[in-house]
A and B are shown apart, each in its own frame.
Chain A
Amino acid sequence: MVINMRTKKVEDTKKIFSKSHTLLNTFDLRDFKGKKVLAKNGLKVGKVSDFVIDKSYNIVSLKVRNWFRTFYVDTLFIDSLSNKVVKLNIIPVVTNIGKKVFDVEGRYVGKVVGLVKTNDKNEFKGLIVKKRFFFRGKTINKSDIKTNDKNIILKIEHVN
């Protein structure tokens, strides 16, 4: 882990602790705010906007913000921390939103506007795809997806 760790002892007069603590090799959470968050494949998924702590003051998750989209990532999914970047060991499923969907015949099916999820895990059952803003969304099963990278290509032909 490469990060700006505290390398000097904090003066005793500046500390209020139940036990003695040098505060060496610790860091301020504020330093993390605004850092870039990268997915496993190097894709930028947003910036750290906040941290979530539970009643026992443990950090539960990172609050990641990408423009108007906010999502929460479990701290278990943090792969590495550096001075500029927080790298995750997953590709968050929310990054699928906004991708274009094409069928096997190269037909444009629409844009992903939502996900069908059954739990809080980094999994999805299907995609909600819309061709136009006022159109009703169609659901595409995960099993029908052939390629999911920059955009999505389906295994099947999709006739409107």
Chain B
Amino acid sequence: MKTITSDDILGKIALDTSGDELGIVTELHIDKENKTIIGVTIDQGFMKPSLFIGIKHILKFGIDSVMLNKVPYEKIKGLNVLDERGELFGYVDEVIVKKYKIDSIIVSKTKVSSKKYIVTGKDIDKISSDVLLKKGFKAKLKE
């Protein structure tokens, strides 16, 4: 049986499936009754909230990093939303997830704008460093 200590996990970089660095593992969460690890907390850096990742979503406790088996939806918040021509449409304000899939995203035109648009998951072409929308996407004004 291979065992590791908390020292081998804490302070390591957390990587998602795309290889993006999410932050540094700062805490281990242990179930008091069952004595098992239930997840880790990732410090995402200055002015960003800490992220809790359940043990189910951890692929591997690696040598220099902790590898996850999914991309957290929290990461999408704040990304630029670009239309098919690459022009800025807005910023991701909220992500709505249904059955572990992105159902829709709420986009605000500016970072302080109260005018918000709903874009369905079908209209999203790619999510990388920005959210790229498909050609002829439809955005509904949120009431």
Contacts and interface: CB of A to CB of B under 8 A. Distances in A.
Interface of A: 2, 36, 38, 41-44, 80, 82-87, 99-100, 102, 105-108, 147-153
A106 B19 contact: no
B62 interface: yes
A153 B67 CA distance: 10
B85 A2 contact: yes
A106 B128 contact: no
B110 interface: no
B128 A43 contact: yes
B51 interface: no
A87 B86 contact: yes
The 8 closest A-B pairs by CB, nearest first: A106-B62, A151-B19, A149-B18, A150-B20, A85-B86, A87-B86, A42-B130, A106-B65
B82 interface: yes
Contacts of B19: 99-100, 102, 147-153
Nearest to A44: B129
Contacts of B80: 42
26 contacts: A38-B86, A42-B126, A42-B129, A42-B131, A43-B130, A82-B85, A82-B87, A100-B19, A102-B19, A102-B62, A102-B67, A105-B63, A106-B60, A106-B61, A108-B64, A147-B19, A148-B19, A149-B18, A149-B20, A150-B19, A150-B20, A150-B128, A151-B18, A151-B19, A151-B21, A152-B19
Interface string B67-109: 1000000000000101011111000000000000000000000
A73 B19 CA distance: 26
Interface residues on B, range: 20 to 34
A102 B65 contact: yes
Contacts of A147: 17-19
Interface of B: 12, 15, 17-21, 60-67, 80, 82, 84-88, 126, 128-132
A149 B128 contact: yes
Given A151-B19, A153-B19, A85 B85 contact: yes
Most buried by B among A44, A108, A148, A151: A151
Nearest to A146: B19
Contacts of B61: 106
B59 to A, nearest CB: 9
B126 A41 contact: yes
B12 to A, nearest CB: 8
B15 A102 contact: yes
A114 to B, nearest CB: 19
